[in-house]
Homo-oligomer: A and B are copies of this chain.
């Protein structure tokens, strides 16, 4: 007998069930009894039957694939946050039967070109945006084209408009709450003169993190003139953090410093060690580097952020969610290590 390509029909015959049952095992396994599923799966394996995924998608109209732009590797320290978000997103999506498809793009305009291409050439149910920023054209494009999406990062243009703004679904981490917690932690340890080592103006994420430190220091009774001297603004990096810390120590002699990133904090550690001072230091993002060198840092709840992002997508895809909020702002938490000490 000639070997022939196995079909749905031959699987059904081998398993002693109807074609519809085989189809159900493939497309809606939750409505088939476990014992029947096992028998059909055994027949599929024995015969080497492989249903066409494309045919299946035409039937169900759902690919169960989420698209995400993978950003280029940056300095490796801060970029680890998005890599960890990707791991959490992939795991969270998988538990709900979805998978993550990656693509790349050098900028937002090209990212939109990719959306267009992917919608033309690959079946995707939704997109996950990261690194949102002011005047972000991606969300508007997706909304106009009725493509379900969620962003990890709030729509910064509308941050001032509050809950009334007609926002798309998003999940973000409250950076201001993180630096506020860092100041509280350092004040509990006895520090009063707490500097802030942040980025130049113009970064939304940076502005959010700086605002938490400012508010906490104002609450603690410090006046504006001192706060201006305690606030350093430098581009991110270990070297720039080290130099700015040296300037701060010379100028205002802080006993502690809160940093906008672990890179800056690592620079602060280098200067403090070189000078033999006991500067207390808090970084941001709790990257692997922080854990490795004993740096206290503010940790983003990335697993929860990914889980909530998938929730918001499934609400759109399945029409569930109802009155559930489509704007999720999560509180970070502080991980105390060796650089948390008294003045």
Contacts and interface: CB of A to CB of B under 8 A. Distances in A.
Interface of A: 26, 44-45, 48, 50-58, 63-65, 70, 72-73, 75-77, 79-80, 83-84, 86-87, 90-91, 94, 99-104, 116, 119-123, 145, 238, 263, 266, 287-289, 291-293
B293 A75 contact: no
A101 B104 contact: no
Contacts of A57: 53-54
Identical subunits present? 2
Nearest to A124: B53
A72 B92 CA distance: 12
Contacts of A87: 70, 72-73
Given A70-B90, A90-B104, A121 B53 contact: yes
The majority secondary structure among interface residues of chain A is: helix
A26 B119 CA distance: 11
**A63, A75, A99 — which one has the most chain B CB atoms within 10 A of its CB?**
A99
A94 B77 CA distance: 25
A111 to B, nearest CB: 12
A53 B83 contact: no
Contacts of A91: 70, 72, 104
A101 B99 contact: yes
Contacts of A122: 53, 63-65, 99
Contacts of A84: 73
Contact of A289 (B26, B79, B116, B292): B292
A62 to B, nearest CB: 10
A120 B55 CA distance: 11
A57 B145 CA distance: 23
